[in-house]
Structure 1
Amino acid sequence: VAILGGADDEIQEVAFQYGRNVGMAFQLVDDLLDFVSSSNLMGKPAAADLRLGLATAPVLFACEKFPELNPMIMRRFTEPGDVEKAYRWVMDSEGPRQTRILAETHCAEAIRHISQLQTSPEQRSLVQLTDRVLNRMK
């Protein structure tokens, strides 16, 4: 929108950095919800990403405590019991908490960038959007 609207290079960079950071936070929260949200709320079963063979942020963080996850990641959780074991290890690790912290960090960075713009209802709405990204339930 900044480019299409003819904004100067500085505004385009602010918009890019805001969007990049909010997008990263959104994906991290999505990764987190795959582990901590109920299947009824999400509309998909828990650990759906693991079942698809995906090693998301909580899994990668869990590798610090459970390096046994690394071979499972390489084989994309295809052996019997891999998904269940990986899910337990993620939940027994700091992976979910570290993922949440990283999402918060990206939202703070988005706010830092958008705060360079003049205060307006639109700018305030973009700041509020970061809170909605962080606190969404699905």
Structure 2
Amino acid sequence: MKLAEIYMQFQSDITIIEKELESSVKSNNDILQEASIQLLKAGGKRIRPVFVLLAAKFGQYDICALKHIAVPLELIHMGSLVHDDVIDDAELRRGKKTIKSQWNNRIAMYTGDFIFGKAIETTTFFDNPKIHEILANAMLEMCLGEIEQIKDQYNWEQNFRIYLRRIKRKTALLIAVSCELGALAAKADYKTQRNLYRFGYNVGMAFQITDDVLDFIGTEEQLGKPAGGDLRQGNVTLPALYAMHKDPDIFNLIKEMLATKFPENIDLTEILTEVKQSGGIEYSLSISDRYLQKAYDALEQLPDIEEKQYLREIAAYIGKRKF
């Protein structure tokens, strides 16, 4: 089954979530309202809400309750993107102007904070303290990931452990929690919750590594921004890390560029080519595949229902996606 077909299976419930998302960001302040709706309409795969719905199929599925988990998780993701764009000074996201470029940094930061607040407000539907504890911890860890990325910006002396810890906090954790909370809200048993968390964590790691690979090999049309954007913003990702550790000449080349903080309009063609030729792409994809295998292993521990195969299909899509 293709990814689009999986989404079609949940189309009515995804529509409910979309309407709830739009309702949740309503504000009496015109700027906050417009900025939030613009971000919402920019789209996205809604991967996190879909993971919530799929995980909930292993318990007592009730969209009226689940929307109060799916919506805050997507809002947290959206709010983090707004803050990311300020930190990275990004003008475009998914080919459209960012909130910080359309308004300014202050509006963007307060919009992100507003969206985070709405996420917390939506979750008050549940009186289970475990749900709130998991969500709060995820937000704290994401903030630590952001701080780490800022600290390591333009740092050419990073290692693989630092990189993996950063992407765990920035990306994998929220996907893991989406699976875990979907199961918890549906009252699935504890073992199922933990295996779904493991699945989501490993899929999330593979998702971010693949994303970092695409930043080197994708086209501007596919990415919605020029290739090499991560490196230009001072973020050294796995393909570049591998190339730098393998070849001293590539290390010196990237170090020199990072030291200058990439002057505007600098041509990254040489660096992109060197990273590709170093084997950095193949190495990164092999690490992504290892995480995907761990995700499949976690799936094997789950009850044999139809949605188990859907989760496998999504994991496979993440491993081979082109944008």
Given that residues 53 and 76 in structure 1 are in contact (C-alpha distance below 8 angstroms), is that contact kept between their aligned partners in structure 2?
no
Counterpart for residue 184 of structure 2: 3
Matches within 5 A, 1:106-125: 106-125=291-310
Question: What is the 5 A alignment of 1:44-55?
Answer: 44-55=225-236
The letter for the 1-side match of 2:235 is L
Structure with a larger share of its residues in helix: 2
Map of 2:51 onto structure 1: none
Match among 271, 274, 293 for residue 86 of structure 1: 271
- Partners of 2:293 and 2:267 lie apart in 1 by 35
Distance 1:28 1:109 in 2: 15
> How many Å separate the matches in 2 of 1:93 and 1:77?
23
1:23 Cα deviation after fit:
0.5
Cα distance change on mapping 1:116 and 1:77 into 2, 3 Å: farther
Which residue, 275, 280, 283 being the options, matches 1:95?
A: 280
Aligned to 2:244: 63
Question: Shift of residue 87 of structure 1?
Answer: 2.2
The higher radius of gyration belongs to 2
- Report the Cα offset of residue 9 of structure 1: 2.1
Q: Which residue of 2 aligns with 1:35?
A: 216
- Give the C-alpha shift of residue 77 in structure 1: 6.2
Q: Which runs of 5+ in 2 are unaligned?
A: 1-181
**Aligned-pair identity (%):** 32
d(CA) in 1 for partners of 2:216 and 2:247? 16
The 8 Å contact of residues 72 and 82 in structure 1, kept in 2 or not, is answered as: no
Q: 3-state DSSP class of the match of 1:46? A: coil
Structure 2 match to 1:23? 204
1:13 alignment partner, one of 180, 194, 197: 194
**Contact 2:232-2:262 within 8 A present in 1 as well:** no
Q: Do the aligned residues in 2 keep the contact of 1:50 with 1:77 (CA within 8 Å)?
A: no
Query: SS at 2:187's partner residue?
Result: coil
Question: Letter of the aligned partner of 1:50 in structure 2?
Answer: L
Q: CA deviation at 1:86?
A: 3.1
Q: Quick one: distance in 1 between partners of 2:259 and 2:205?
A: 23
- Partner SS, residue 104 of structure 1: helix
SS, match of residue 226 in structure 2: coil
| C-alpha distance 132-67 of structure 1, shift in aligned 2 (>3 A) | same
- Give distance in 2, aligned partners of 1:16 and 1:116: 12
User: 1:74 deviation in Å?
Assistant: 9.7
Q: 2-side partners of 1:11 and 1:73: how far apart?
A: 49
When the two chains are superposed, the root-mean-square deviation of aligned CA atoms in Å is 2.3
Match of 1:72 in 2: 255
- Number of residue pairs matched by the alignment: 138
Q: CA deviation at 1:14?
A: 0.3
Alpha-carbon contact 2:220-2:227 (below 8 Å) kept: yes
Structure 1 gap segments, 5+ residues each: none
In the superposition, relative to structure 1, how do residues 121 and 54 fare at CA in structure 2: closer, same or farther (>3 Å)? same
Contact 1:25 1:106 in 2 (8 A): yes
Confirm or deny: 8 A CA contact 2:209 2:284 kept in the other structure: yes
SS of corresponding position for 1:45: coil
Q: Distance in 2 between matches of 1:21 and 1:76?
A: 33
- TM superposition shift of 1:26: 0.5
Identify the structure with bigger relative contact order (alpha carbons < 8 Å, sequence gap 6+).
1
Counterpart CA distance in 1 for 2:287 and 2:294 is 11
More off after superposition, 73-82 vs 7-16? 73-82
